[in-house]
Amino acid sequence: MRNGCNLPWVCMGDFNQILSGEEKRGGNPIDETNALEFREALEFCGLLDCGYEGYPFTWENSRENENYIEERLDRCVANWDWKLNYPNHKVSHLDWCGSDHCPILLTTAGKEEEEIRWGWYFKVEPLWLQDPECAEIIKKTCEANAGAGLSDILNICKADLLKWSRQKSGDIRRKIERVEGLLSSFKYKPKTRIVLEQRRALEAERAELIYQEELFWKQRSRMDWLKGGDKNSKFFHTKASARRKRNTIRMLQDDGGRIYKGQKEVMSCLSDYYQTLFKKGSVPDSDKVIQALEQKITPGMNEQLLRPFKPDEVKLALDQMAPNKAPGSDGFSAGFYQKNWNAIGPKVTETVLNFLNSGIMPPEFNHTLIALIPKVKSPSTAKEFRPISLCRVIYKIISKVLANRLKVILNDIISEEQSAFVPRRCITDNVIIAFECFQFMKNRKKAKDGYFAAKLDMAKAYDRVEWSFLEKVMRKLGFDGRWVNIIMSCVTSVSYSVLVNGHKTDCFIPSRGLRQGDPLSPYLFLLCAEGLSALIKKAEKEGQLNGIQIRKKAPTISHLLFADDSLVFGRAVLSECDTLKGILKCYEEESGQLINYNKSEISFSTNVKTSRRLEIGGTLKIKEVTKHPKYLGLPTVVGRSKKEMFEDIKEKVRKKLKDWKIRTLSQAGKEIMIKAVAQAQFLYPMAVFLIPEGTLKEIQSLISNFWWGQKGKERKLHWLSWEDLCEEKEYGGMGFRDLRSFNLAMLGRQVWKIISQPNSLLTRTLKASYFPKSDILNAKTGYNPSFIWRSIMAAKDKIVEGFRWRVGDGKLIRIWDDAWIPGKTYFFADPQPGGVDSEEKVSSLIIEDSGCWDERLLKEKFSKRDCELISKIPLRYPLNRDEKVWTDTDDGKYSVKSAYSRIRENQGNTIYSLNLSMDDLDFWKTLWKTHIPPKIRQFLWKVGRGILPVGRNLVEWMDDASTECPFCGLPETQTHALRECSWIRRRWQAWEGKQLFELGEGKSSYEWLKEVWGKCPNDLIQKFSVVLWYLWKERCNHLFNNAKIDEEMVIPKALGWLQSFLDAHPPPPISGDDSQIDRREGWTPPPIGVFKMNSDAGLLGQQGVGFGCVIRDSSGNFCGATAKKERGICRPIEAEAKAIIMGIREANRRGLSPFIVETDCLRLIHKLEKEENDTTELGIWCEEIKKLAKANEVLSGVSTRWGYTHRKNNSIAHWLAHSCFCWDRQFVWVDNPPTSLLLLLQADLGQASFGPN
């Protein structure tokens, strides 16, 4: 069938084999080899599992107890063409009837499917927002109704946009088919200039329509990770179709067993369920939970929360939202407001600030839709859906403004046992602490005291929060009454409609619950959960509940919380179980929370007897488990077979890559799929565990096979090794992650967390266990460590050289044994002859009263080089505490990206080891930024790497491959196929851009690309890229499909195709280091009466660092220049900062004011514009720049301005910085520059742009 049929096909029945361990219960572990062969057979045939409804297993062996086995041996599989043709197919596992196999039923469409019709309600489409006409309609509506309220303006906009869209859009697919029909008729028309122009116009229209279709399906597929640029509409369509099928609700059953079928009955069932769920419960008068809470809000915090709200906060809240997330009941997305902020922004700001200052919520903005997300496959009851609140964007802006203020103080008011949503805390904190506790329980075999761990499941945690309880909690914590009133107005003014298959139920008003989807809800739930934490701590303080202390000086762990996920530890005695039972009952009654005892679990330390376990389990009514399989999604205990423990990670990746919908992706889409989805599957476990090498290799193999298009055992050439693909794009790779290096870099975050947060619960726990008398960088693996600690130590050993001390007061830093001197490769002081005091501190080198270095002592103790470097370390006065910093980032904070680069470099992956020149780096960087379709960039990458499937390349892999060119019979190298073959040569020489062809004469195809990218303007590079790709495409189409080539039209078609792409995809806005704030060419003079200082720095290798500055006036007249060099190593951004300091000092000395500082380092400009407390060397240099600029302002009363310019417009400062390597002192020119500098000034002035300033 696979080889002889290209039609849609389906196959079902007893395959007598399973795909993975999830499809078997009981008996021995599955035979992984057989399962792999079955998966490969299905992949080879292009068949994908169709899923099922009902019981998960289809076969049983009818034996008893531990001998009972059941498996999913029967299934239905189909190719994705069949799945596309039958999007509503359904496979049902029916009841057993006299056989050890259950029957399975495949239905494609029936009465059930036909009677469910998805509803429609107004939603702003992303493609509307791309149209200038849409923006004009919105602008005119806002201007014509300036006196109306925001709600009225939005209603008018809705009507106008609907009318416009019906006239404008119509059916996109129908329009595409019409245009394609017209295009096909051009094959038979004479190729006159008029005919060609008509065809190009139609091709441009088709490109625009396809772009609109892509946006349309992209929103419905909710695939935010996939970027535009390639036509992935088929992928988006299949994803959206599958999503709609998955979310369609056809039938439900209530708690009483009644069945609801059809749209009306299902809507009634769900509306009744949520009205009951959100109805206030009976809350007792007692306030035991509230009494246990302590006041934590200070007057300063209240003042911070209630300071006047500003328009900037409103805009920031909107900008923090994803533009195309599902909108609320009014249909206006965040993207609508973001795109049209100039027109509608003032009215939005006025509305939001009116509420924040008055506390009265306009009810129309707080109506919320409840969207239902299935929690299980084929849900059959309302409880099996997760309700997500689709709030209106205006309400979300209000909520986000409040949330942005509240989260700033959460670290001070939320207990350290809670790690969800609190800044600087992380889910991995709880995972690691819990893992250490479970390790302690596992190893506790002979001690007297035993312990239990109760993992509690909260049922509908957000939905059951009592509003009165939330208000009492906030008041007891000490929130000001005005703040409480604003929050409660947001919470209690809500109204709901349930969204069922696109239809809205009638509106109803709740009396309890928090919304999942409201930016405030996570933080408000944390405040409520403080009640549970307070009760446990009170019992602990009174000796009624004792947590686990894993080492003598370790903190006692009585409970760990992650939002509603609770883990409680205690001694395995009845009295403590009774205490816990009482705490849970009290918390349930007052807060509205409900423990789901059926899903909760309890485990015990090894030394607890079976009788005691049964007694405690019966008291708490929680089922006992030998070990908790997972806590927060990760293993709680790792045994000897670590590879088996992490098998599920590999399975997740495999399922993602084998998803039938993914098969429709282009090669460019595959790249994003690998980076944004497949590699995301293991980020979380990699942050905690060192994944076994074997597992990582298998995952790498899966990803590599997916990239090269291999299916099952089908042979597909892997043109480059995985190591080559993992090189950075600027090094000629694809930038995929080397999984071992990335795993170590992720684990390095735990090392940084321990360094940067010494008082956190995580650090105190690990320190007491593994390094009580040292620090993390000097810690050892130790005796009988946990697997997590081994993992952290493996990472520490790889990144330890990236840390050093930042000198504050010097009291913690040892002069001779610690890394602390910047400007050196390893940051240690040079060893001195004779003995030294190993405990001598850097503080002895600092004059404490003035906060300066003691120059005399430096000269006595250190080599001349070290003395120079130390004297240049900036000290802030008054002196700060010493702190450890990460050397590879500007702010001194650890980043996974920089650590990954360091680990890769230590493995030998550098520009030098890869034999790359600076020209190579520039080429690859520029190639990936060229504005052409992603698939053409990838084609050019293959050309650059020399891996196109031509004869000379194929013969290295395939013995039967021919090396002769099928067109001319000469040896077929890559260069021959792209430019030397007679057929290709004729096409190039017939094109007006044939000078591009001549650039490659006598060069390899890679050198040819480098020449073009190095010497041609951007528009010519775009044309060259598309022509080269189009010629290759036509060549392959002729060879493999026997397609006829219209030689005269190949180049015009390619250029027309490029223009269509550019019309549909305008170049993105320029940003980052390549942006030009001032787009004009050449140096730009300052306004009249203002000076401009251009500065630059140059890294001179062994010679040190050079600094250069030049100052000119509004006429371009020379007003001064200075340059000097400095010994040692310096990071580029710090060198740029020092260059500015040198220049401002010279300007201040000369009395030149006011002035503009201009540099080609955009990162430094951004840093200077921020107000932040940065104690790194760069932070102190920036502080010095601002202080000097402030002193200059005194001279003229005008503030100093910071400006960015492209490096080519900063040529004189660049020349000064790179010319000073042969000078031994600083040079200053006041009015008579040397001839070489004068010539440069004249040339710069000749190119200067004297446009409006």
pTM summary value: 0.83
Q: How far apart are CA 396 and CA 321, in angstroms?
A: 9
pLDDT value at residue 108: 84
Check pLDDT > 90 for residue 411: yes
Which stretch of DSSP H or E encloses residue 1228? strand 1227-1229
* Tokens standing for residue 319: 């900008």
- 1132 vs 555, 668, 1106, 1214, CA distance in Å? 43, 34, 11, 13
pLDDT value at residue 958: 82
Q: Which of 452, 78, 503 shows the shortest CA–CA distance to 265? A: 503
Using only C-alpha atoms, the chain has a radius of gyration, in whole angstroms, of 34
Q: Helix-strand-coil percent breakdown of the chain, rounded to 5?
A: 50, 10, 40
Q: How far apart are CA 420 and CA 523, in angstroms?
A: 9
pLDDT value at residue 714: 58
Question: Which amino acid belongs to residue 727?
Answer: E
CB 232 within 8 A of CB 226: yes
Choices 3.60.15.10, 3.60.10.10, 3.60.20.10, 3.60.150.10: CATH for 10-109:
3.60.10.10
Check pLDDT > 60 for residue 705: yes
Banded model confidence at residue 186, pLDDT cuts 50, 70, 90? low
pLDDT value at residue 467: 96
Check pLDDT > 90 for residue 172: no
Could you write out the DSSP letters of every residue in 1136-1182?
HHHHHHHHHHHHHHHT--SEEEEES-HHHHHHHHS-----SHHHHHH
pLDDT value at residue 1252: 43
pLDDT value at residue 1195: 81
For the chain, the residue count is 1253
How many other C-beta atoms lie within 10 A of the C-beta of residue 1075? 12
Q: How far apart are CA 318 and CA 314, in angstroms?
A: 6
pLDDT value at residue 71: 94
More confident residue, 555 or 45: 555
- The arithmetic mean of pLDDT across residues 241-269, rounded, is 81
Helical pair 787-799 and 761-770, crossing angle rounded to 10 deg: 90
pLDDT in tens, 471-525: 999 999 999 999 999 999 999 999 999 999 889 999 999 999 999 999 999 999 9
Q: Of 36-45, 173-182, 1069-1078, where does mean pLDDT reach its minimum? A: 1069-1078
pLDDT value at residue 244: 63
- 753 vs 309, 428, 893, 903, CA distance in Å? 34, 11, 10, 19
Q: How far apart are CA 552 and CA 560, in angstroms?
A: 20
Q: How far apart are CA 1231 and CA 1227, in angstroms?
A: 13
pLDDT in tens, 753-784: 999 999 999 999 999 999 999 999 999 998 88
pLDDT in tens, 1129-1157: 788 999 999 999 999 999 999 999 999 99
Banded model confidence at residue 1248, pLDDT cuts 50, 70, 90? low
More confident residue, 750 or 240: 750
Percent of the chain with pLDDT over 90: 55
Check pLDDT > 80 for residue 1089: yes
Range with the largest mean pLDDT of 824-838, 882-896, 903-917? 882-896
Q: How far apart are the first and last CA of the chain?
A: 72
pLDDT in tens, 537-553: 999 999 999 999 999 89
Second CATH level (architecture) for the domain 1072-1247: 2-Layer Sandwich (3.30)
- β-partners of residue 571 are 451
CB 264 within 8 A of CB 967: no
Q: What 3-state DSSP class applies to 592?
A: coil
pLDDT in tens, 228-238: 445 544 555 55
Banded model confidence at residue 711, pLDDT cuts 50, 70, 90? low
- The arithmetic mean of pLDDT across residues 271-292, rounded, is 91
Q: How far apart are CA 426 and CA 419, in angstroms?
A: 6
* Tokens standing for residue 35: 């399962």
What phi and psi, each to the nearest 5 degrees, are found at residue 1054? -60, -45
Q: How far apart are CA 1116 and CA 1083, in angstroms?
A: 9
**Where do the domains of the chain lie?**
10-109, 126-247, 291-308+359-631, 642-737, 918-1064, 1072-1247
Q: List Cβ neighbours of 759 (8 Å cut-off, separation of 6 or more).
A: none
More confident residue, 468 or 220: 468
Is 643 exposed, middle or buried (CB count within 10 Å of its CB: 0-12, 13-18, 19+)?
middle
- The arithmetic mean of pLDDT across residues 602-616, rounded, is 94
Could you write out the DSSP letters of every residue in 526-558?
HHHHHHHHHHHHHHHHTTS---B-SSTTSPPB-
pLDDT value at residue 1247: 66
- The arithmetic mean of pLDDT across residues 655-676, rounded, is 73
pLDDT value at residue 228: 45
CB 797 within 8 A of CB 790: no
Q: Of 103-107, 181-185, 795-799, 1060-1064, where does mean pLDDT reach its minimum? A: 181-185
Mean pLDDT of the chain: 87
Go through 938-952 and write b for each residue having 16 or more CB atoms within 10 A of its CB, e for each that does not.
Answer: bbbbbbbbbbbebbb
Any idea which residue has 């902020």 for tokens?
341
Q: Of 268-277, 341-350, 954-963, where does mean pLDDT reach its minimum? A: 954-963
Check pLDDT > 70 for residue 886: yes
- The arithmetic mean of pLDDT across residues 1165-1178, rounded, is 84
Report the helix count and the strand count for the chain, using DSSP H and E: 48, 31
State how beta strands 601-604 and 565-571 pair. unpaired
Q: How far apart are CA 860 and CA 182, in angstroms?
A: 88
Q: List Cβ neighbours of 1236 (8 Å cut-off, separation of 6 or more).
A: none
pLDDT value at residue 218: 54
pLDDT in tens, 620-658: 999 999 989 899 999 998 877 787 788 888 888 888 887
Q: How far apart are CA 738 and CA 729, in angstroms?
A: 13
pLDDT value at residue 154: 94
- The arithmetic mean of pLDDT across residues 171-183, rounded, is 72
Banded model confidence at residue 225, pLDDT cuts 50, 70, 90? very low
Q: Of 462-476, 528-542, 577-591, 871-885, where does mean pLDDT reach its minimum? A: 871-885
Any idea which residue has 């007491």 for tokens?
768
Go through 470-507 and write b for each residue having 16 or more CB atoms within 10 A of its CB, e for each that does not.
Answer: bbbbbbbbbbbeebbebbbbbbbbbebbbbbbebbbee
Q: Of 101-115, 409-423, 992-1006, where does mean pLDDT reach its minimum? A: 101-115
Is 446 exposed, middle or buried (CB count within 10 Å of its CB: 0-12, 13-18, 19+)?
exposed
pLDDT value at residue 529: 97
- 1146 vs 891, 1120, 1139, 1153, 1180, CA distance in Å? 27, 8, 11, 11, 19
CB 779 within 8 A of CB 770: yes
Is 661 exposed, middle or buried (CB count within 10 Å of its CB: 0-12, 13-18, 19+)?
buried
* Tokens standing for residue 963: 């090396």
* Tokens standing for residue 390: 């689709």
Check pLDDT > 80 for residue 959: no
Banded model confidence at residue 46, pLDDT cuts 50, 70, 90? confident
Check pLDDT > 50 for residue 227: no
pLDDT value at residue 406: 97
pLDDT value at residue 1076: 37
Is 382 exposed, middle or buried (CB count within 10 Å of its CB: 0-12, 13-18, 19+)?
buried
In the DSSP assignment, the letter for residue 914 is T
pLDDT value at residue 241: 56
How many other C-beta atoms lie within 10 A of the C-beta of residue 310? 13
Q: Of 322-326, 923-927, 1151-1155, where does mean pLDDT reach its minimum? A: 322-326
Percent of the chain with pLDDT over 70: 91
